[in-house]
């Protein structure tokens, strides 16, 4: 009986040893591999620009959390995707257009978002967005976000509205234009 237990123990040890030898040292457990594979972006972090102009004013800014990225959305009712211009890219500091005023933005990196849409009615000059220069964006709460750390309104000048988005680090992002919206997604990881 002792010999049978010894044989079984040796067989079990041999099975474990051979099983470990068959798995490369840098292998990732299947559950981790599936989670990582679910979030490939290929987006990159270079600036993105689309030239177009619109006189359609923006009315709101909002954010959302997703499994692989955090989302920043600018609502521009009446603007088609084709006519909505933008410039989005990482900057060392956020400076307000025209005045050159430095606007502090929290986070490990600053993503500047410029939308070719005024935050006012061009005919009357009446404000269409309640943001205050150098202040966090009204109605945006970043509690629980993995990537976004801060938001700042930098103002609207000559039909272009400027925002600062504080992110955790210099991460890949994409920009999409849809009817009535400019969407900026920032990935949680590379």
Q: What does the pLDDT look like over 132-150, one tens digit per residue?
A: 999 999 999 999 999 999 9
Is the separation of the CB atoms in 65 and 146 below 8 Å? yes
E-assigned strand segments in the chain: 48-50, 60-65, 69-75, 86-91, 94-95, 102-103, 109-115, 148-157, 160-167, 173-178, 181-187
Q: What is the pLDDT of residues 70-120, one digit of tens each?
A: 999 999 998 887 789 999 999 999 999 989 999 999 999 999 999 999 999
pLDDT higher than 70, residue 124: yes
pLDDT higher than 50, residue 33: no
Task: Give the mean pLDDT of 115-135.
Answer: 96
**Which has more pLDDT, 39 or 161?**
161
Q: How confident is the model at residue 12, as a pLDDT?
A: 46
The set of residues, in sequence order, having a beta carbon less than 8 Å from that of 85 and lying 6+ positions away, is: 50, 51, 52, 53, 54, 115, 116
Q: How confident is the model at residue 55, as a pLDDT?
A: 67
pTM: 0.80
Q: How confident is the model at residue 40, as a pLDDT?
A: 74
CA distance 75 to 72: 10
User: Which bin fits 22, alpha (ψ -120 to 50), beta or left (φ > 0)?
Assistant: alpha
Is the separation of the CB atoms in 113 and 153 below 8 Å? no
H helices within the chain, ranges in order? 2-22, 30-37
Q: Are strands 109-115 and 86-91 parallel, antiparallel or unpaired?
A: antiparallel
The set of residues, in sequence order, having a beta carbon less than 8 Å from that of 19 and lying 6+ positions away, is: none
Q: How confident is the model at residue 7, as a pLDDT?
A: 43
pLDDT-derived band at 35 (thresholds 50, 70, 90) equals very low
Tell me the percentage of the chain whose pLDDT exceeds 90.
Answer: 70
Q: How confident is the model at residue 81, as a pLDDT?
A: 73
Q: How confident is the model at residue 140, as a pLDDT?
A: 97
The set of residues, in sequence order, having a beta carbon less than 8 Å from that of 39 and lying 6+ positions away, is: 67, 68, 69, 187, 188, 189
CA distance 167 to 12: 50
């Amino acid at each position: 009986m002792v010999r049978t237990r010894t044989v079984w123990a040796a067989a079990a040890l041999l099975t474990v040893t051979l099983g470990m030898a068959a798995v490369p040292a840098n292998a990732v457990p299947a559950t981790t591999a599936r989670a990582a594979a679910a979030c490939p972006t290929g987006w990159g972090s270079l600036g993105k620009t689309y030239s177009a102009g619109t006189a359609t004013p923006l009315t709101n800014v909002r954010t959302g959390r997703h499994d692989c990225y955090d989302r920043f959305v600018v609502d521009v009712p009446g603007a088609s995707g084709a006519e909505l211009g933008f410039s989005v890219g990482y900057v060392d500091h956020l400076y307000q257009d025209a005045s050159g005023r430095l606007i502090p933005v929290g986070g490990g990196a600053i993503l500047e978002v410029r939308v070719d849409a005024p935050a006012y009615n061009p005919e009357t000059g009446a404000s269409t967005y309640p943001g205050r220069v150098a202040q966090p964006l009204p109605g945006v709460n970043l509690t629980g976000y993995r990537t976004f750390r801060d938001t700042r309104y930098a103002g609207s000048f000559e039909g272009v509205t400027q925002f600062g988005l504080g992110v955790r680090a210099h991460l890949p992002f994409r920009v999409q234009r849809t009817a009535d919206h400019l969407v900026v997604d920032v990935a949680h990881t590379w």
